Amino acid sequence: MKTELVRIGNSRGIRIPKPLIEQCGLEGTVDLSVENDRLVISPGRRLRQGWIEAFQNAGSAEHDDLLLEPMRASEFDRKEWKW
């Protein structure tokens, strides 16, 4: 399908036919990117979309060990530091 660029102020835009919008599931905001000299319009992602699945796939923290050795208190910590 070919379409014309239309002037929108100092910019240019395109009109996307409703059937294409529905077929791609576009609504609200969209993500724009350039891949191989092509403009790609993708459905906008909600903030934190996919975080739950990512945490579940990360596994449990049951066997996680501290990566750093605990620091010993210094002379300052023992004698001078007060809350």
Below-70 pLDDT ranges, the chain: none
Facing residues of 56 across strands?
A: none
17: left (phi over 0), alpha (psi -120 to 50) or beta: beta
Tokens of 20: 């294409």
pLDDT of residue 19: 93
Write down all domains in the chain, each with its CATH number in brackets.
1-45 (2.10.260.10)
CB 19 within 8 A of CB 36: no
pLDDT of residue 35: 96
- pTM here is 0.50
Which residues contact residue 51 at a Cβ distance below 8 angstroms, ignoring those fewer than 6 apart? none
